[in-house]
C-alpha cells in the first residue's frame, strides 16, 4: 500500500515551483489558479522572492500548498494517472492537511487557496510579534517534552505543538516559557533545544483567535467527501464526513499535530511506501517512525516522471 504526504510550513524557499512551472502545463495551471484566487502574483513571489515576503505566514501557507499541488497535478495529469489507483490514503503536516484534502477532491483549489490565506493571516494576527515562540526539542520523546513544557510554563502557555517523530517534538507558547524550556531541556532529558525562526506560536492555545476565524471561514466552505482516506492531524485517523473534517480543521489551529502517530497508524494499516510531494522535510521523519517503509520525496520534473513510470 502507498500513502501520499504533503509538507507544512518551513518547506518554502525562493525559486520553489519555478522549474516545474517551466516544464509542466499542469503545474502552470495550478499556479495561475492560485494567483487568480488571491488576486496576487504569488507565483512570481515564489519564483523571485524576496525571501522575507515569501516566508510571511500569509504567503508561505498558500505557496507551500500551491507547490505541492503543482507536483501532484503534474504527476497525475502528465502521467495520466488516477489518484485513487496510485495511493490508498494521504495526510499532510499542519497546512499540508489542506493540500491533502485538495488533492483528494474535498476542497477545490481556489477555495483551498483562499482558506490558507485566511488561516495564515489569522494565525499571524492572533499573537503580536515577540509575544510567542516555538522550539524544537531534539532527542526527546513526547513524554519527555511534556515534562519539559510543564516545568517551563510557570503560569504561561507552553504546550506541545508537533509530535513529529520519536526524536523530535516541537513546543509552542509564550516567549518566556519557551526560553525557560530551552534552558532546562538538556538536564530534563533532551539532547538539544532550538528556538525556531517563526513569527507566531502555532498549534497552541494562544492561537484561539485564529481558530475562531477559521471556524467562521470554514462554516461558509463547501467540503465534500475525500476520494480516499485522509488522516487528520488532531486524531491521527481518517474521517470522510465533511462536518467532521470541518471541525478537525478548526481544532487543528490550536491542537497538536500528531504526525508520529499518523505515520505509525498508516504503517499499521498496511502502508509500505510513503511519497512526499513538493518537499524533502517529511521523508526523514517517516524513516524514524517507520524505518522499514520505503520513502520517496518528489519535487523536480525528473523525480515526478521517474515515479510516474514506476507506478503506472
Residues 107 and 221 in one domain: yes
Quick check: 61 pLDDT over 90?
Answer: yes
Residues 244 and 98 in one domain: yes
Domain end, chosen from 174, 198, 222, is at: 198
Residues 89 and 174 in one domain: no
Residues 81 and 215 in one domain: yes
What is the mean predicted confidence (pLDDT) over 205-227? Answer: 98
CA neighbor of 67 nearest in space, from 108, 91, 103, 36: 103
Q: What's the mean pLDDT when you consider all of the chain?
A: 96
**pLDDT confidence tier of residue 312, bands split at 50, 70 and 90:** confident
Q: Which CATH number belongs to the domain containing residue 296 in this structure? A: 3.40.366.10
For the chain, give the number of residues.
312
Q: How far, in Å, CA of 231 to CA of 92, rounded?
A: 8
What is the mean predicted confidence (pLDDT) over 100-108? Answer: 98
Residues 140 and 246 in one domain: no
Asked if 7 and 278 count as a contact pair (C-beta separation under 8 A), the reply is: yes
What is the mean predicted confidence (pLDDT) over 224-228? Answer: 97
Quick check: 222 pLDDT over 80?
Answer: yes
**pLDDT confidence tier of residue 304, bands split at 50, 70 and 90:** very high
Q: How far, in Å, CA of 3 to CA of 230, rounded?
A: 10
Question: In total, how many domains does the chain have?
Answer: 2
Quick check: 279 pLDDT over 90?
Answer: yes
Residues 235 and 285 in one domain: yes
- Give the pLDDT confidence of 68-87 residue by residue, as tens digits: 999 999 999 999 999 999 99
Residue written as grid cell 492531524: 233
3-state secondary structure of 304: helix
Residues 235 and 302 in one domain: yes
CA neighbor of 220 nearest in space, from 99, 111, 94, 57: 111
Which domain, by its residues, includes 191?
132-198
Residues 17 and 160 in one domain: no
Residues 122 and 227 in one domain: yes
Domain end, chosen from 147, 180, 198, is at: 198
* pLDDT for position 12: 85
What is the mean predicted confidence (pLDDT) over 163-177? Answer: 97
Quick check: 205 pLDDT over 80?
Answer: yes
CA 54 and chain centroid, separation:
16
Residue written as grid cell 503534474: 74
CA angle 49, 206, 278 (to 5 degrees): 35
Cell numbers at 223, concatenated: 467540503
Residues 181 and 280 in one domain: no
What is the mean predicted confidence (pLDDT) over 112-121? Answer: 97
Domain end, chosen from 176, 198, 220, is at: 198
Residues 36 and 164 in one domain: no
Cell numbers at 109, concatenated: 483549489
Residues 107 and 214 in one domain: yes
Active-site residue list = 94, 203
DSSP 109: H
Amino acid at each position: 500500500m502507498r500513502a501520499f504526504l504533503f509538507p507544512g510550513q518551513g518547506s518554502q524557499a525562493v525559486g520553489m515551483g519555478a522549474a516545474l512551472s517551466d516544464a509542466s502545463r499542469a503545474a502552470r495551471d495550478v499556479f495561475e489558479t492560485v494567483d487568480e484566487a488571491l488576486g496576487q502574483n504569488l507565483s512570481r513571489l515564489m519564483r523571485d522572492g524576496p525571501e522575507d515576503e515569501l516566508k510571511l505566514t500569509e504567503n508561505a501557507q498558500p505557496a507551500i500548498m500551491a507547490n505541492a499541488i503543482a507536483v501532484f497535478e503534474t504527476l497525475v495529469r502528465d502521467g495520466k494517472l488516477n489518484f485513487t489507483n496510485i495511493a490508498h490514503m494521504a495526510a499532510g503536516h499542519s497546512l499540508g492537511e489542506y493540500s491533502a484534502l485538495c488533492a483528494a477532491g474535498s476542497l477545490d483549489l481556489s477555495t483551498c487557496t483562499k482558506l490558507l490565506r485566511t488561516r495564515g493571516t489569522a494565525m499571524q494576527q492572533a499573537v503580536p510579534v515577540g509575544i510567542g515562540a516555538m522550539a524544537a526539542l531534539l532527542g526527546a520523546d513526547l513524554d519527555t517534552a511534556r515534562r519539559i513544557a510543564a516545568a517551563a510554563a510557570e503560569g504561561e502557555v507552553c504546550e506541545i505543538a508537533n509530535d513529529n517523530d520519536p526524536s523530535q517534538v516541537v513546543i509552542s507558547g509564550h516567549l518566556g516559557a519557551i526560553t525557560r524550556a530551552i534552558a532546562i531541556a538538556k538536564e530534563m532529558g533532551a539532547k538539544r533545544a532550538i528556538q525556531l525562526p517563526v513569527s507566531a506560536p502555532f498549534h497552541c492555545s494562544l492561537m484561539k483567535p485564529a481558530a475562531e476565524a477559521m471556524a467562521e471561514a470554514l462554516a461558509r466552505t463547501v467540503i465534500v467527501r475525500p476520494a480516499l482516506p485522509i488522516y487528520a492531524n488532531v486524531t491521527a485517523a481518517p474521517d470522510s464526513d465533511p462536518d467532521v473534517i470541518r471541525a478537525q480543521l478548526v481544532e487543528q489551529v490550536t491542537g497538536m499535530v500528531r504526525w508520529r502517530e499518523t505515520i505509525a497508524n498508516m504503517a499499521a494499516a498496511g502502508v509500505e511506501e510513503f511519497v512526499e510531494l513538493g518537499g524533502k522535510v517529511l521523508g526523514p521523519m517517516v524513516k524514524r517512525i517507520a524505518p522499514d517503509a520505503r520513502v520517496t520525496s518528489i519535487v523536480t520534473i525528473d523525480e515526478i516522471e521517474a515515479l510516474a513510470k514506476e507506478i503506472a
